[in-house]
Amino acid sequence: MDFTNIFVILYIVGTLSDFILGQVLEFVSYLNRCSYGLEIPSELEGLVEKSSLEKTVSYKNACYRLWIPRNILSSVLNAFLLLSGVYSWVFTLLWTWSGNIYRTSIIFVLFSSLPGELLDLPFALYREFKIEKDFGFSNMTLKMWIADELKGFVLNLVLIVPLVCAAVAILTHAGFWWWLLLGSVYVAFTFVVSYVYPTLIAPVFNKFTPLPDGELKERLVSLVEKCGFHARSIFVMDASKRSGHSNAYFTGLGKNKRIVLYDTLIDQLSVDEIEAVLAHELGHYKHKHIFKKRCVMIPMIFAVLFILAFLVLIPELYTGFGFNPDGNSLFAKTASIEIIGGADGPTSIFVANAVPAYLWIFGIFLAFEIFSGFGWIASLIGNASSRRDEFQADSFSASMCGNGEPLVQALVKLNKENLSELCPPKIYCLFNYDHPPLLERIRAVRKLHSEK
């Protein structure tokens, strides 16, 4: 392993910074719970009981104690697989065995996720059948859990294999401009998946039934019509079959849009409170939050792929993690790369010890591994934007319902039912919360109402 290689250095810096930041933030959150976790802010007097806070602290601490070894072991495993050259060796072995880049890429993608999944298995089982059951959340049986895992595996194959094949075909035949075509295919793929998710994917795991007639349906239908939201129907999901956690969400695109309420949500909240929660979700629609995020994300996808188009041409990206261009047959001594389209067609340049196109899929994998350690930067920006959107949606809910108290009551109940913290550290929220913490949301809603 060449520790002077710039890509190896970037990987080590990113991985260490991400690991240290995660450990520090979780420890700060733990200390905050120990010191202030049982305090009830004046805004929540009479709404929250100390016994509920004690349960929340115990639940979060149990999750934290499980997270520590899970995070350490997964970080060590991934660093070992990458820095020891295991990934490079496996890719070379698969190519030598099959001689087919499609088979090589599909098997490699599946293999690359296998070590992490196997390592995570005992932690996932412990959390589901020990922590979640001890705190009254999990209704899962082992049979149901295994069935969900198998369904998820098959579903991933159905979705990922065609996408990998499309990516390989584009990488090996589209020349330097593969990034533009692959970005277009990926964006189209995400839209197709979003469209079919409500009717083809979600029902694989849960049962969805139309919301029965009654006051709740009348109130929600009236609210939806008032907001101009066009959805096929309002559905109830049997979330309680697996968990006591509750939620509500929109899903689908175009005529396939649906509003989904967890059955646990209906059991836990009053009609006024459910209306306020749905009004909050409609606030995202009225403020075009999803559309705006897509307007940001789609150009970012193309920008990332454009940068990758240059990175995958650099032999050092591969040699730093186990490939040897002089002794490895996967490297070409010279390679022709089409770069510029002119009046007489594309211009080809020849690069010594260049990386052939059939290796670019592995180069993309390496690049994502290298820069994943810097993901906290994107999270910091994305979470800030998401929290701003949540405040706007809360404001919309308060205006639609006449005042913010139904939403406040709903947020407090959901916070208690899900054992969420009242006042996590601000520094922790900056990196880990895409929703504002409960106290901040309540203060913002009540301030808005008092100003009006």
Q: Are 146 and 87 in contact (CB under 8 A)?
A: no
Number of CB atoms found within 10 A of residue 263's CB: 17
Give CA separation, 68 vs 20, 23, 72, 73, 140, in Å: 12, 8, 6, 9, 24
Can you list the alpha helix ranges (DSSP code H) found in 84-206?
Answer: 86-98, 101-126, 132-134, 142-173, 178-196
Structural tokens at position 224? 């939806």
54 is catalytic: no
Alpha-carbon radius of gyration of the chain: 25
Q: For residue 278, how far is the Cα from the chain centroid?
A: 23
Number of CB atoms found within 10 A of residue 160's CB: 14
Beta bridge partners of 334: 352
Q: Are 412 and 438 in contact (CB under 8 A)?
A: yes
Give CA separation, 36 vs 29, 197, 308, 412, in Å: 10, 42, 46, 18
394 is catalytic: yes
Q: Are 389 and 284 in contact (CB under 8 A)?
A: yes
Closest CA to 262 of 239, 281, 241, 234: 239
Distance CA 371, CA 390 (A): 29
Beta sheet of 248-251, edge-to-edge order: 208-210, 234-237, 258-262, 248-251
Exactly one of 281, 369, 389, 417 is catalytic; name it.
281
Exactly one of 369, 394, 417, 440 is catalytic; name it.
394
Burial class for 419, CB neighbours closer than 10 Å (0-12, 13-18, 19+)? buried
Which sequence positions are flagged as catalytic? 281, 394
